[in-house]
Amino acid sequence: MSTPTDNATEAFIAKWTGTTAPELSTPHSFLIDLCVLLSAKRGAGAHNLRQEHRHAHL
């Protein structure tokens, strides 16, 4: 995983500092932005969790 640049980190912090939106309305956007900043893979884990949750409640 690569290290984010200072500019990218500062832009992320600036975007999310002082956000006044309700906590439950922004988690997906925040996490997507964080994944982009950290060059992290995303998506596959969410699919696996949905499958596990669905099978646990059958």
pLDDT tens track for 2-20: 677 899 999 999 999 988 8
Taking CA atoms, 3 is separated from 7, 22, 25, 43, 51, in Å, by 12, 30, 28, 21, 32
Could you tell me which residues come within 8 angstroms of residue 15 by beta carbon, excluding any fewer than 6 positions away? 33
pLDDT tens track for 17-51: 988 887 777 888 888 898 889 888 766 655 555 55
The count of domains in the chain is 1
- Exposed, middle or buried: residue 55 (CB in 10 Å: 0-12, 13-18, 19+)? exposed
Within-domain flag for 20: no
The letter for the amino acid at 36 is V
Within-domain flag for 58: yes
Q: What is the pLDDT of residue 42?
A: 66
Within-domain flag for 19: no
Within-domain flag for 18: no
Give the domain extent around 54. 1-13+25-58
Q: Is the pTM of this model over 0.75?
A: no
Within-domain flag for 42: yes
